[in-house]
Structure 1
Amino acid sequence: MAPGKGIKPPVHRTTTGLISAGMGKVKCDEGRPSCGRCQRLLLECVWQPAQGKGDLRAKRQPTESSKAIVATTSRMDSVQMRRLPKDTFVVEFPNVSRTTIPFIHHFITFCSRMIAYANDSESNPFYMELVPYATSSPALLHSMIALAAGHLARVQPQHQKTATKHYSMALRELNTALSSPTTARSNPTLGSCLILCVYEISLSNNSRWKEHLQGARDLIKFRGGPQSSNFLTRFFALLDISGSLFAGRGPLLEGNYWIEDTPSAVGSKKLPSTGSSWPSYDSDGVMVEHFHTLMTFMARLSSLSADSMSAVGREHPESIESRAKIIYDDLMQWWWKVPENLRDQPIDWRTKNQEKSAAEKLEAESFDSTKACVCSCVIYLNHIVDPLSKGQQNEHVQEAIRQIFDIAREMPEGVGLEMGLHWGLFSAGAALFNDLEHEELVRQKLGTKSSTSLYNADHALDLLEAVWERQHKYNTRFDWRAVQNELGSNM
């Protein structure tokens, strides 16, 4: 043995490690009072007391919304999921291979908190309510593993084989579950169908997400209709309404079903069952309440867009324009009645308000995302009425585009918040005409964030690139919907 290489020097290990950093698998840099990693990830920075020292911040007491963790047990074929005391429970996954444990862990600690709302790490029904169902639902278990492995494969390609394998197994198990009326009505079956949609939207180049979203619609009908208090109905609505805006169709279910209950629906228990808000940082429900109302306008827009592309709509553009004006007036009337901190939040709040907690920062970011969606509605409406911008772009559209770009420039990257801006950036990008500077901004912001975002906007960006290329080449505007139909986009 070479001299000096037989014994390694002792390595300093911190004993005052950060609780929140440890639980989120974030290496602590021990910065005080708040470490740099937690500041970047918008986590609360909480320290354990050092041994023999009583002047450091005390360890945070566990709450009912404590995070779930995955731990191996003494048995080689099981996994346990525990929520820390005081509200303790254990979920065993019998017959689960040890090789799948990292993927279950990744679903709980990352995928579940990015699947519906950005950076939603507390009181999240996707791990608090849905994960335990996976112990008895092979379809749900395999869909969770497929999504987690697929996300990890973006930066670690060796996981793609696992993702593809479990995706195929999830499809097979879902077909088996659908053969039983009782199982078909269950939350695990609907949940697995929706997670497969997310897999196909985020990680696949095919358009099977449309088939599975329609399948989820059929399952909801089979259960007796949508129930707004069920988190799976709420999640279906997010996928349905956002998908309808891009797919050139109206919503798959009639009415404002995400805020209006169907009395006969199955699964009406309000979730999450802890009674906590979802997402956790929207403690007063301001963002969710008003975004759900905004979704009613988005649904009207998608239906109007589909009608405008029909033969009847092309023959009677005055009818489309009249309906668009009514929607715009209703939208503005509602928008001016929302709380001022949502509507008029200053763009420089990040630099002016340094005392905000992590939850308050996430809430403020969600307000910006909501405002960007309102601006998108304005742009989208104008595009329906004047898709080729034959006249000069009106001042309301110009202001909406400016606000979206201002928000995009200020919103931090690497925290998973980008998903809230995808539609806004796409709408603003589609309204550009030979504007190289802003095309590059959209390109940068819509570019894939492999490790920090579950969803990507690759298809949307590909469509914009095709539109921009045509506009630069022919020096005339193109309707992105027509280009999408021409390309047969899977977006």
Structure 2
Amino acid sequence: MSSPGTRMRPAHAFMQHLRGYKPRPIGGQKHTCSRDDKASTVPSPPPPTLPQSPQNPANDNDQPELQGDQFEDLLDPIQLFVDIADLETPSDPLIWSNDVALIDNHAEDIVEHQLNSVPESFSEDHSERLGGSLGLHHILGPSLDLLGIPDELKFIMQYHICEVVPKLCVDNLSPQNPYRDYILPLANEVPSLLYASAALAACHFNVRLSTNQFEREFFRFKGKAMKRLQEDLYSQTRAKHPGTLATILMLCLCDLCHGGNSDFQSHFQGAKRLIELRQERTISCFVEQYLAWLDVMAAASHSRPTVFSSEEINTILGESQDRWGFDTIPCPSDQFQIICEIVTLYKSQLDPDNPSIQTLNQVQDIKQRLLRRPTHCDKGPNWLHMTEAYRFAIILYLLRLFSRDIDEFELYWLVSSVLYHARATPPASGWSDQLLWPLFHAGLELKDARRQEWVRERARCMQSSGRFGNVQSALVYLRVLGRDSDQ
């Protein structure tokens, strides 16, 4: 990992540092509660009669592009993914293993269709059915080239636009959505991004309906995205394309949606190397911001340090002007900076269980700064309650990290404040769906069964509404913790 301020390495060194980047699909159970999806502004595709994709679709056109002499100074990108998982869907997805060989002779079954694929696709009937009721051109809109989409992707990308894209913004009805206005146009130019978006949609569909109907498509589309990402890394020009960095973001969201364990660190390390290579930002640093947000929040729950340094995160925040996360990140930038400060402080301790007096003074200073921060009420009451829930949850997180003895009355006040603001957000809404992190940390301190059950029920509603499988992991942990506290 290069330190901030170091001179950028040449291309071959950049490729060597990307050697460990190996996004891997993770299998796991998913549990959702049924819910009436009346909140959606666009009718959902009819799920009951979904046919399965062909087992052995034929296509002879999906061959890697021949690389010319202009790439002779770069490593073979296959070496960048030497430990990549075999992407064939297992017969039982619940025992999916990541420790299998590199894509081998079976890969032809996984990466069969190129952008000019033959129209032998499971999605053709669904494209016609959904397009007939809503207008296919209206659904896809000007941001996605209809003629450039393979037939196998037409249905799933319609679903991506109608159902997934709104859920990626805090306000599901926001007229400004960077995934629709920025990411999808890039997918016209970068096939790896198109297939990563399709993989996210397939996984989202499964979580939403608690089904495995699109499980095979999820792994197949994700495999195609990673294969094309490898090809993009042959060329510095293609590696510098913003769509290549956006592909890594979409792969992170795929793992987040799929739930279970995932090696996000490899994603973040690969993204950091690409950012260093590009030396320019995506629009208002949107992609860089979201990757940094995911990196810090993942490190906050694990022993590993952040991949992005504090200096790099501050630079990203400073270059984003007034568009922090395009309203896709629920935590305001001032609160996010404090989370970064807390994580950095904790991981710099030689003995975290016995913090020094100086460290405890810093903790009190951070706590007071959080309490003194002005409220974020400029976007309406829902944003206010969501950001206030984060404020009190951050204090809970801070005190749990550094204080062995927490005042009982203060603890009760902090937990009650998180629950109050969470209850004030409408359930099955974008604001409520973004409160998993605050509710998780409040739930760790709950003792009475009634409030524990409310947190679990709200989490189940989040999974049904937001359709991201990571909620299930939090539910399992809280359920086990609740049983332990009862004993």
1:299 correspondence with 2:340? yes
What residue in structure 2 maps to residue 119 of structure 1? 172
Distance 1:115 1:213, change over 3 A: farther
Q: Distance in 2 between matches of 1:391 and 1:22?
A: 43
1:374 counterpart letter in structure 2: R
1:187 aligns with 242
Which SS does the other structure have where 1:314 is aligned?
coil
Structure 2 SS opposite 1:253: coil
**Alpha-carbon shift at residue 422 of structure 1 (Å):** 0.9
Deviation of the 1:257 alpha carbon? 4.8
- The Cα shift of 1:100 comes to 1.8
Distance in 1 (alpha carbons) for counterparts of 2:382 and 2:269: 31
Q: Offset of 1:450 from its aligned partner?
A: 4.6
Amino acid at match of 2:364: K
SS of equivalent residue, structure 1 residue 103: helix
Q: What's the counterpart of residue 328 of structure 1? A: 367
Of 224, 229, 235 in structure 1, the residue corresponding to residue 290 of structure 2 is: 235
Contact 2:433 / 2:465 at 8 angstroms: preserved in 1?
Answer: no
Structure 2 residue aligned with 1:443, among 443, 447, 456?
456
Pair 1:462-2:476 in alignment: yes
**1:328 Cα offset (Å):** 1.2
Match of 2:157 in 1: 104
Paired amino acid for 1:312:
D
The count of residues paired between Structure 1 and Structure 2 equals: 362
Q: Secondary structure at the match of 1:313?
A: coil
1:148-297 matches, within 5 Å, as: 148-154=201-207, 155=209, 156-224=211-279, 229-255=284-310, 257=312, 260-261=315-316, 278-279=326-327, 291-297=332-338
- Distance between the aligned counterparts of 1:419 and 1:245, measured in 2? 20
- Following the alignment from structure 1 to structure 2, what is the Cα–Cα distance between the partners of residues 171 and 431? 41
Task: Determine which structure has greater relative contact order: mean sequence separation of CA pairs < 8 Å that are 6+ residues apart, divided by chain length.
Answer: 2
The aligned counterpart of 2:122 is none
1:135 aligns with 2:191: no
- The one-letter code of the counterpart of 2:344 is S
Equivalent-residue separation in structure 2 for 1:198 and 1:168 (angstroms)? 15
Letter paired with 1:177: D
AA paired with 2:444?
Answer: A
In 2, are the aligned partners of 1:197 and 1:209 still within 8 Å (CA)? yes
Q: Distance in 2 between matches of 1:262 and 1:367?
A: 21
1:368-387 to structure 2, matched below 5 A, reads: 368-387=385-404
Aligned partner of 2:43 in structure 1 is 25
Checking the alignment, whether the CA contact within 8 Å between 2:144 and 2:187 is kept in structure 1 is no
Q: Are the counterparts in 2 of residues 150 and 203 from structure 1 also a CA contact under 8 Å?
A: yes
In 1, Cα distance between the equivalents of 2:477 and 2:464?
23
Post-superposition shift, 1:271? 8.1
Deviations 1:161-186 (A, max 9, x none): 21121011112211222222221122
Partner of 1:53: none
Task: Tell me if the contact between 2:240 and 2:274 (Cα under 8 Å) persists in the aligned partners.
Answer: yes
The corresponding residue for 1:412 is 426
* Counterpart residue number, 1:47: none
> 1-side partners of 2:271 and 2:375: how far apart?
32
Residue 107 of structure 1 deviates from its aligned partner by: 1.5
Distance across 2 between alignment mates of 1:366 and 1:424? 14
AA matched with 1:141: L
Letter in 2 for 1:145: A
* Alpha-carbon contact 1:249-1:302 (below 8 Å) kept: no
Q: Deviation at 1:151?
A: 0.8
Matched AA of 1:428: A
Code of the aligned partner of 1:106: Y
> Residue type matched to 1:100 in 2?
L
Judge conservation of contact 1:328–1:378 (CA < 8 Å) in 2.
yes
Matched-pair contact (CA < 8 Å) for 2:195–2:221: yes
Query: Displacement, 1:198?
Result: 0.7
Change (3 A) 1:317 1:440: farther
Q: Conserved in 2, the CA contact under 8 Å of 1:138 and 1:173?
A: yes
Shift of 1:307: 3.6
Partner of 2:443: 429
Question: Residue 310 of structure 2: SS of its match in structure 1?
Answer: coil
Gapped regions of structure 2 (runs ≥ 5): 1-37, 46-125, 129-134
Q: 2: CA distance between counterparts of 1:162 and 1:269?
A: 39
Quote the sequence identity (%).
Answer: 20
Distance in 1 between residues matched to 2:450 and 2:254, nearest whole Å: 33
Query: 1:407: how far off?
Result: 2.3
Change (3 A) 1:241 1:113: farther
Give the Cα–Cα distance (whole angstroms) in 2 for the partners of residues 103 and 379 of structure 1: 40
- The residue identity in structure 2 corresponding to 1:453 is G
Report deviation, 1:256.
6.1
Q: Distance in 2 between matches of 1:367 and 1:83?
A: 32
**CA deviation vs aligned residue, 1:360-414 (integer Å, no higher than 9, x gap):** 7xx4212211100000111111101225xx454242x322211111223332222
Q: Return the alpha-carbon distance in structure 2 between the equivalents of residues 98 and 130 of structure 1.
A: 20
Instruction: Report the alpha carbon displacement of residue 189 of structure 1 after superposing the two structures with TM.
Output: 0.7
Structure 2 CA distance for aligned equivalents of residues 100 and 415 of structure 1: 28
Contact kept? 1:116, 1:235, Cα under 8 Å: no
Deviations 1:177-234 (A, max 9, x none): 2222221122111111111101101214231333213322222222227678221122
Tell me how far apart the structure 1 counterparts of residues 216 and 455 of structure 2 sit (CA, whole Å): 32
8 Å contact 1:401–1:428 — kept in the other structure? yes
Write the letter of the residue equivalent to 1:313: P
d(CA) in 2 for partners of 1:414, 1:223: 39
TM-score by length of structure 1 reads: 0.65
Q: How far apart are 1:120 and its partner, in Å?
A: 4.7
